[in-house]
Chain A
């Protein structure tokens, strides 16, 4: 794999406040990277610096030897369009401003709008668009010139579940063609299409790695056993030798260094007279990891 983006010591200070503090990372070609972190962590500021809209106080952004501005596509969190243009006019303008020749720009714009599912609104004025349509248009203007790097700021946060699903599928379709870096705080989405995680907190890059690596670092695996009544759960937790914690109808048993094994748990369960509904091994969801990293001192 080849490195496409190299960020070194990126820092942004506004007056006294350091919003982004010396972050460094690299992006490999054709990977998807999620930039996650609580509100105010500096995600948007970081993306703005990558686009060149904001000058870093210190630090360097390098896009594998080519001009950055000509080779990125950017979708802001709340994209604003010129309302009196049509979707086709806007996308075509976007392509041409990125240097696509005018005839090709028109064809490409049309194809891109079809790809994002706006084929029925090509000539409608953007003023009449719904939020979901604007988001699609936002994606189309970001990808119409086939950028090497696609930067998306909260691409799905403002959408309803249906719109979110559709936009996510769109982005997954793009993974083979370009490198994607997107910020989000909806972690289910990050879980779905991420090769690398960058965790930002208070402007610092506090956690970094593939989903699997981060998981391993923060995972606290456990079993969850569901009983039919709370009474049974409490009794099992207090009587078994496995030190489970009862919570409602559930008992949670922590796993430390692969102990106890599933077999041991099942033996215990079969020995007791209670009605077991479900037994499962749980790994921490990204949300739990998020909470841990966000709160870690």
Chain B
């Protein structure tokens, strides 16, 4: 892994100086607080802004802490992932297209090191983001609804982070393999179409990376079928490693795509 620490430093500097370590976690924090707050104050919001007729009655569902956390994760799964993927999907392909990669690739660097430095930085941004998102969500849930058990909460965050590693590996693999436009389309299709598929046939398709976010919540609810969980986790890690290796190979193979 020739030059890994140097490359890592470069990637960190880029992410740091483009404020990625700040604004992406902020987005997650905002997403995290939205659901507990809006659900709790739904009646007040409706009566303040809506033209609710006199005597109108509405039955609000009784939501528990786990339901609200699930709602927050739903937000991370759409807008959150969109933000994370969109800010990193060009990290390899764009460097090639604008010629910045030239001055890197002519040196005796290892492509594994270069790919991994990008993966590590993306994962760090992702980790800080979900910690911020979970913290915001859990804080307001705890204040307004009720608390969680510490251990299962951490297990839930950990599970979601493994899912994120899978998302990042797919994103970077796409970036290494294709041009920015194709990579963006490809990564979004894999991640979001997978989610839709799981929503439709998830009952039968239990061992899959796309189920992990749901399983994270089920861990908290205590309704998790543990063998499905472990298998999904293992499958996800294997696919993640495979994607990373494919990414390293295609990154090396696509050196000729670099604009000189």
B18→A84 contact, CB < 8 A = yes
**Which of chain B's residues 4-57 have a Cβ closer than 8 Å to chain A?**
6-7, 9-10, 13-14, 17-18
Shortest beta-carbon distance from A47 to chain B in Å: 8
A98→B107 contact, CB < 8 A = yes
Interface window among B120-128, B138-146, B234-242, B252-260 = B252-260
Determine if B104 is an interface residue (Cβ-Cβ < 8 Å).
yes
Please name all residues of chain B whose beta carbon is closer than 8 Å to the beta carbon of A55 when the two chains form the complex. 256
A82→B10 contact, CB < 8 A = yes
B106-117 vs A, CB cutoff 8 Å, 1 = contact: the mask equals 111100000000
Q: For residue A90, which residue of chain B has the nearest CB?
A: B103
Q: For residue B258, which residue of chain A has the nearest CB?
A: A53
Please name all residues of chain A whose beta carbon is closer than 8 Å to the beta carbon of B106 when the two chains form the complex. 51-53, 69, 72, 74
Determine if B152 is an interface residue (Cβ-Cβ < 8 Å).
no
Return the contact of B102 from the options A69, A79, A97, A99 (Cβ within 8 A): A79
Shortest beta-carbon distance from A84 to chain B in Å: 4
Determine if A28 is an interface residue (Cβ-Cβ < 8 Å).
no
**Which of chain A's residues 146-190 have a Cβ closer than 8 Å to chain B?**
153
Determine if A54 is an interface residue (Cβ-Cβ < 8 Å).
yes
**Which of chain B's residues 78-117 have a Cβ closer than 8 Å to chain A?**
98-100, 102-109
Once the chains are docked, how many angstroms separate the CA of A98 from the CA of B98?
Answer: 22
Shortest beta-carbon distance from B98 to chain A in Å: 6
A97→B100 contact, CB < 8 A = no
Once the chains are docked, how many angstroms separate the CA of A260 from the CA of B7?
Answer: 68
Return the contact of B99 from the options A52, A78, A84, A141 (Cβ within 8 A): A78
A121-133 vs B, CB cutoff 8 Å, 1 = contact: the mask equals 0000000000000
B10→A85 contact, CB < 8 A = yes
Return the contact of B107 from the options A84, A94, A153 (Cβ within 8 A): A94
Please name all residues of chain B whose beta carbon is closer than 8 Å to the beta carbon of A77 when the two chains form the complex. 260
Shortest beta-carbon distance from A183 to chain B in Å: 12
Determine if A204 is an interface residue (Cβ-Cβ < 8 Å).
no
Once the chains are docked, how many angstroms separate the CA of A74 from the CA of B10?
Answer: 20
Shortest beta-carbon distance from B253 to chain A in Å: 10
Determine if A230 is an interface residue (Cβ-Cβ < 8 Å).
no
Shortest beta-carbon distance from A154 to chain B in Å: 11
**Which of chain A's residues 28-72 have a Cβ closer than 8 Å to chain B?**
44, 47-48, 51-55, 67, 69-70, 72
A96→B260 contact, CB < 8 A = no
Shortest beta-carbon distance from B104 to chain A in Å: 7
A48→B103 contact, CB < 8 A = no
**Which of chain A's residues 73-87 have a Cβ closer than 8 Å to chain B?**
74, 76-82, 84-85
Give the B-binding residues of A (Cβ under 8 A).
Answer: 44, 47-48, 51-55, 67, 69-70, 72, 74, 76-82, 84-85, 89, 93-94, 96-99, 141, 153
Ranked nearest first, the 3 interchain pairs of A and B with the lowest CB-CB distance are A80-B99, A84-B17, A97-B107
**28 sample A-B contacts, Cβ–Cβ < 8 Å, listed by A number:** A44-B260, A51-B106, A53-B106, A53-B255, A53-B256, A54-B256, A69-B107, A70-B108, A72-B106, A74-B106, A76-B102, A76-B103, A77-B260, A79-B99, A80-B102, A81-B100, A82-B14, A82-B100, A84-B14, A84-B17, A84-B18, A85-B10, A94-B103, A97-B3, A97-B108, A98-B108, A141-B103, A153-B260
- Known A47-B260, A89-B13; further 14 A-B contacts with Cβ < 8 A: A53-B258, A55-B256, A69-B107, A70-B108, A76-B99, A80-B102, A80-B103, A84-B13, A96-B3, A97-B6, A99-B2, A99-B108, A141-B103, A153-B260
